[in-house]
Copies of this chain bind each other. A is one copy, B any other.
Amino acid sequence: MADTISFARGAPSADIVDIDGLKQAAVDAFETDPAGISGYGTAIGYVPLRRWIAEKHGVPEDHVLVTNGSMQADAFLFDETVAAGDAVVVERPTYDRTLLGLKERGADVHMIGLQADGIDVDELRTALQGGLRPKLAHVIPNFQNPGGSTLSLEKRKALLALADEYDFLIFEDDPYVDVRFTGEPLPRMLELQGDANRVVYASSFSKTVCPGVRVGYLIGPPELIARIVRRATNTYIAPSQVAQAIVHRFVTGDRFPAALQKVKTALEERATTLGAALREHLPEATFVQPEGGYFLWVELPAGEGHDCARIAAEAATRGVQIVKGTDFLLEGGENAFRLAYSAVKAEQVEEGVRRLAEAVAAAKG
């Protein structure tokens, strides 16, 4: 079989990580703060990194908690705010691990449709008017996983108004925001809310530094953050000070702007190549061309017997890995799949799509 081409995993390829920069950041960290880096630290996170995050987002430090990756932040937040039976809103489709985390906690998950400009606020409003009372609405505003779409400014404001009116928390899950490669950045709901305390915001250094550091963070109302700090203390005392200190030296170092630009340039090339290849080899597919991030969500015409499980199996026999659309939904998605272009070099993208088109044809036959 030809080389495997994986569109499955939302992770960067090693060639776009600035390993030399990270190595230098590690040396700097051990040299400049030996006591801080080697000690336990506390659950709030490595203090200089927490301060850097607070300054980046213009919030007081006690609004910030640094965690062992942002999925750990999600888990702490769900443990603290979601009880069995609680209604929670998510996008349709949404990140499979979020869906799993909510289902495991017994949440009553309500999926609200995702459009090219983000979650369908009208559908959400109708559901709220119909009596839905969510504790939390989970939204991935930028380059959504798996949808690839970005929430418009108008909808960000509309969501905040709904959160105020119906008294729920918006969980703004935003790991991809800093890998925007085209278009204009939009203000975060965290900023747009003013003093409303309606938003809990999560992000990560996995996409801007590398996943292997496992450093993410949560920003929210200080009372909630304090409760989660207690939970984190009782779970693991603290996230890795060594990893956090390396991240801190890296993102405050001279090389970071160029390193981040390299990531964005590579992602843009991969995304552009993927869109073009899909239009050429799989013209019946529809998708949102993302402005950043890792993912592209492909829908095939409904009612034509497409079955993503069969397509994934046929693709696998051709050395191409994809994730079935059904993984991101409670029901439906058979005519869809997710392509992660983050780890597929541009020169492999077209070959991958060519084989994928064969797989789609074979799965129909």
Chain A contacts to B: CB under 8 angstroms: 9, 11, 14, 17, 19-20, 22-23, 26-27, 30-31, 34-41, 67-69, 71-72, 75, 97, 100-101, 104, 206, 210-215, 234-243, 245-246
Contact = CB atoms under 8 A, between A and B. Distances in A.
Contacts of A97: 234
B235 A37 contact: no
Given A30-B26, A34-B19, A243-B242, A39 B210 contact: yes
Nearest to A216: B236
Given A212-B240, A234-B97, A38 B14 contact: yes
B211 A38 contact: yes
A234 B104 CA distance: 10
Given A23-B30, A30-B23, A31-B23, A235 B71 contact: yes
B26 A237 contact: no
Contacts of A246: 26, 242
Nearest to A17: B38
Contacts of A39: 11, 14, 210-212
A101 B234 contact: yes
Which of A97, A212, A245 has the largest count of B CB atoms less than 10 A from its CB?
A212
Contacts of A17: 34, 38
Given A9-B40, A69-B238, 12 more contacts: A20-B30, A22-B38, A41-B211, A67-B236, A71-B235, A71-B236, A72-B235, A101-B234, A214-B238, A214-B239, A214-B242, A242-B243
A69 B212 contact: no
Nearest to A101: B234
A236 B72 contact: yes
A288 B211 CA distance: 46
Nearest to A10: B40
Q: Report the copy number of this chain in the oligomer.
A: 2
B19 A68 contact: no
A254 B34 CA distance: 21
A40 B235 contact: no
Nearest to A100: B234
Nearest to A235: B75
Contact of A68 (B20, B31, B239): B239
A242 B169 CA distance: 34
Contacts of A9: 40
A38 B26 contact: no
Contacts of A242: 22, 26, 212-214, 240, 242-243, 246
B68 A240 contact: yes
A237 B37 contact: no
Contacts of A38: 14, 17, 19, 22, 210-212
8 contacts: A14-B39, A20-B30, A68-B68, A68-B239, A69-B238, A100-B234, A212-B241, A213-B241
Contacts of A238: 69, 214
Which of A101, A211, A240, A245 has the largest count of B CB atoms less than 10 A from its CB?
A240
Contacts of A34: 14, 17, 19
Q: 3 shortest A-B CB distances, which residue pairs? A: A212-B241, A26-B26, A23-B30
A36 B68 CA distance: 17
Nearest to A22: B30
Contacts of A243: 240, 242-243
A292 B106 CA distance: 45
A236 B75 contact: yes
Contact of A27 (B26, B69, B104, B206): B26
